[in-house]
Amino acid sequence: MDAERAEYYAKRKSMGCANCSSFKSVDAVSRLCPPCKKHLIVHGSARIPKPLLKREINLAYHRINHHCNIAQATEVFNSWMISFASPSRNDLLRRLCYLHFIKLEASDGFPMMRFVDVLVQTLAVTIYEQDGGVLDNEKKQYQYLLGRASVCPWHRRRQSKQGTVYNKEERRDLQRKPTLFHRAFEHIFIQGGISRFLVQLNNKIKQI
Amino acid sequence: MKAEDTIDSLLALVRFYRQKIDEGTLTGAEGGTYIKALLLLGLKDATIKTKHLEDMSNDPVIVNLPFDPKS
């Protein structure tokens, strides 16, 4: 590291945590102290926690159940997901998709993440946003939450069945990468057709 | 010019151009000025809302999941 760069990082460190103003062990790159940095990687924001979405998930489930059949869309999404997901560790988003959509099963014998879970969770996030839910706009937490809802079971809604042997640490680490969920927003929520499907669903609800 | 007056002028400009967009009379040069005004007002920090998802969902590359409404 050249002297100029070192001076820049030293200056950043001396400014204290960008979130809580603490001066203890501030990370020079993110300018956050360890607790705030941990909060950022788990919640997508150093100050605002991700919502539990209990009411919203319930509401989203009923909206989907009442207004559309998802059998055909499930088939299309599943075949797309099979081509997208990959067991290779070179692409962490594809690896996480492989774990959640293909490899790991819940106690009901179905994968931990199914198309219906993606729909319910992402719709719940949009309901939360429309209802004025608090989000960290600076860190693009809305995109983070939509990306997370597209690939991960929300708040342990579905868990792997008992006795499943896999690398739990790897899965935990994969879920602690905000950039991965920002990519999931683009590659799965947008390009995977979820957002378009939700728009059509919302239009149908508006017509009634 | 005071900072508040500048913002007022920018807002008026944006409102004027937005009206032209609605009428379909905005020219290319005016569009450039409109974008510059938006940038000055903080488009960089703008955030996506659910209402914007509709516009983002029109790309032909996107997977077409068949929507089957219940009657």
User: Longest Cα pair distance anywhere in chain B, in angstroms?
Assistant: 60
List helix spans (H) across chain B. 3-23, 28-41, 53-56
Q: Cβ B56–A190 below 8 Å, yes or no?
A: yes
Q: Is residue B32 part of a domain?
A: yes
pLDDT at B6: 78
pLDDT at B59: 66
Q: Cβ A193–B50 below 8 Å, yes or no?
A: no
Q: Which chain B residues touch A64 with a CB distance below 8 Å?
A: none
pLDDT at A4: 85
A142 vs A121: CA distance, rounded Å? 13
Q: Which chain B residues touch A77 with a CB distance below 8 Å?
A: 63, 65
**Chain A nearest C-alpha distance from B71 (Å):** 8
**Residue A104 zone, left/alpha/beta (φ > 0; ψ -120 to 50; rest):** beta
pTM: 0.82
pLDDT digits (tens, 9 = 90+) for B4-58: 677 778 888 888 988 888 888 888 888 888 888 887 776 655 667 777 777 666 6
Sign of CA dihedral A196, A124, A75, A182: positive
pLDDT at A98: 97
Structure tokens at A203: 């239009």
Q: Is residue B59 part of a domain?
A: no
Structure tokens at B62: 């996107």
Q: Cβ B48–A142 below 8 Å, yes or no?
A: yes
Q: Is residue B12 part of a domain?
A: yes
Q: Is residue B11 part of a domain?
A: yes
Interface TM-score (ipTM) > 0.95: no
User: Longest Cα pair distance anywhere in chain A, in angstroms?
Assistant: 65
Number of domains in chain B: 1
Where do the DSSP E strands lie in A140-203? none
Long-range Cβ contact pairs of B33-41 (< 8 A, separation 24 or more): B37/B10, B37/B13, B38/B14, B40/B10, B41/B7, B41/B10, B41/B11, B41/B14
- The total of other beta-carbon atoms located within 10 Å of residue B6's CB is 11
Which class for B62: exposed (0-12), middle (13-18), buried (19 or more C-beta within 10 A)?
middle
Q: Which chain A residues touch B71 with a CB distance below 8 Å?
A: none
Of A67, A142, A192, the CB nearest to B70: A67
Of A1-5, A62-66, A170-174, least confident by mean pLDDT is: A1-5
Using the predicted structure, report yes or no on whether residue A88 has a pLDDT greater than 90. Answer: yes
User: Which residues does A154 contact at the CB level (< 8 Å), separation at least 6?
Assistant: A53, A57, A121, A124, A148
A17 vs A60: CA distance, rounded Å? 38
Chain Cα centroid distance, residue A90:
19
List residues in chain A touching B: CB distance below 8 A.
Answer: 66-73, 76-77, 80, 126, 129-130, 135, 137-138, 140, 142-143, 190-201, 204
What residue has token string 């879970």? Answer: A117
Q: Is residue B57 part of a domain?
A: no
- Which is more confident, B55 or A101? A101
Which residue range(s) make up the domain with B17? Answer: 3-45
